[in-house]
Amino acid sequence: MNYEIKGISCVQFDENRIVSGSSDKSIKLWDIRTNNPLAVMTLLGHSGTVRCLQLNGSRLASGSNDHTLKMDDEKIISGSYDKTLRTWDLKTGQQSATFSGHEGEVLCLQFDRRKLISGSSDRSIRIWDLRTQIAGMILHNVHAKAVTCLQFNETQIVSASFDCTIKVWDVRTGRCFRTINWKENEGHTGVVRCLQADRWRFVSGADDKTLKVWNLNTGERICTLHSHTDGVTCLSFNDFRIVSGSYDTCVKLIMQSCSSEKKIGFSDSTVTLIAQGAEARIFSTNFYGKPAIIKERFRKKYRHFALDELLTKERMRAEIRGLMHCRKLGIPVPPIYFVDSKQNSIIFGAVEDAITLKNLLDSMHEAGAVVDLVDNLALTIGQVLAKMHMNGVIHGDLTTSNLLVKRPLSADNCRQIVLIDFGLSFVSSMVEDKAVDLLVLEKAFMSTHPNAESFYRTILDAYAKFYGKQGSEVLVQLEQVRLRGRKRLIVD
């Protein structure tokens, strides 16, 4: 969309709308769904360039040179060279609130449900109460020059400036407890133009042509990225990639390539595609020095978008719940390093020196396995499954591919069984659910390991012995479930 005559100074978007602020003092709202080249709504009120804005769900905020800030429900908040912040009602297009007090241009802002924080060329940061529209805290002379960008969470504010420094503040007391500069921290040597933070790190971009990634809690520099030939003006990131814009007129997508290898964690770690199924892609990588696995659930085009999103989120939640339950119980499962709900991916600790039970049984059958080794392995699997069911965890997809066996393997060391892939897991105390869980494993043995009937029988015996009385009840119910399946086959 290139329909504004004056320069566009800021932009935000969500699933349905694009909002832009301009040096012509206006804010324009565009409907993405209709692809209409004409703005759906034009918001007028600032007397200077609209320098910053935030659209957060149904809210939009703006700031200006007129020294004020404005906002409400279903709105935008904008900041401007007119020194004001303003809130706009997106239903009516009218201003609903004005925040005045800055003595210089409003250059940056961010807000949540309770507060709005703004930074200005007057070198101050103001923390506004959205209900009263009063600045409950004013931090004066926070930098030697204008505040160019800021981010905040429940406890901290991160600000950057024309003075090339980045500072971290206690949001409750207003105390600065960390300063990042080029001398002591290998910080930026140019004006810091943009920031974005998540719970544990933040990324900054500057006129020195670099992007830098920092640990939010320690201030440690994680890495420096040299991707542009001119100053970096804007950026956005998630756990897998950074998108940045620059005065060099390029938009760069960093940490991703079009091959099976890409980058992660804003380091030199390579991510290699190792498997792909119907529901997810599996990558191997290093997560800050630790071997890791990424499970990325991709969009299924054969399903309606809303249904696909619902199922994907539910399976991610189920996987996390199942893994956390098992870890509390001492059942061997991979540790969770990171969850990216936007990318529908989970980063797990890699299970090193392990082989799937499926591949192990195939190799043991070909080599002629030692009887003691086979029995001890089946015994361990039965005990692990019993412990899981005793505590109400139903795996939902027990197959020989979802059981890992750690090596080296011997008759005396068969106790390293690791369960994976809990995407269909749930919690239940019903004997029926436990029996169906075992039936899934039984069908996996029948379809891929027809010669392993005695191995599976040993698993069930160990399961019943470890579980006790209810374990025997589960096996009785398992026989009932089998019979129901056979009757259906006969009817068909």
Positions annotated as catalytic residues are: 397
CA atoms 209, 213, 217, 219: torsion sign: negative
Q: Which residues of 317-342 are buried (b: 16+ CB within 10 A; e: fewer)?
A: ebbbebbebbeeeebbbbeebbebee
* SS3 call for 53: strand
Rounded to whole angstroms, the Cα distance separating 125 from 110 reads 11
Phi and psi, residue 436, nearest 5°: -65, -35
Rounded to whole angstroms, the Cα distance separating 467 from 330 reads 16
Calculate the CA 264 to chain-centre distance.
12
Distances (CA, A) of 474 to 326, 332, 436: 20, 23, 9
Calculate the CA 350 to chain-centre distance.
19
DSSP 261: E
The answer to whether 255 and 240 have CB atoms below 8 angstroms apart is yes
C-beta atoms surrounding 45 within 10 Å: 23
Rounded to whole angstroms, the Cα distance separating 107 from 222 reads 27
Q: Which residue is associated with the tokens 């470890």?
A: 466
Bridge partners of 253, per DSSP, are 243
Supply 189's token pair: 């040597």
C-beta atoms surrounding 278 within 10 Å: 6
Phi and psi, residue 438, nearest 5°: -70, -35
DSSP 14: -
Q: Name the residue among 145, 150, 151, 86 with its Cα closest to residue 121.
A: 145
Rounded to whole angstroms, the Cα distance separating 401 from 384 reads 16
Q: What is the per-residue DSSP string for 180-240?
A: E-HHHH---SS-EEEEEE-SSEEEEEETTS-EEEEETTT--EEEEE---SS-EEEEEE-SS
Q: Name the residue among 5, 1, 99, 3 with its Cα closest to residue 52.
A: 99
Q: Which residues contact 148 (CB under 8 A, 6 or more apart)?
A: 107, 108, 119, 160, 161, 162, 191, 192, 193, 194
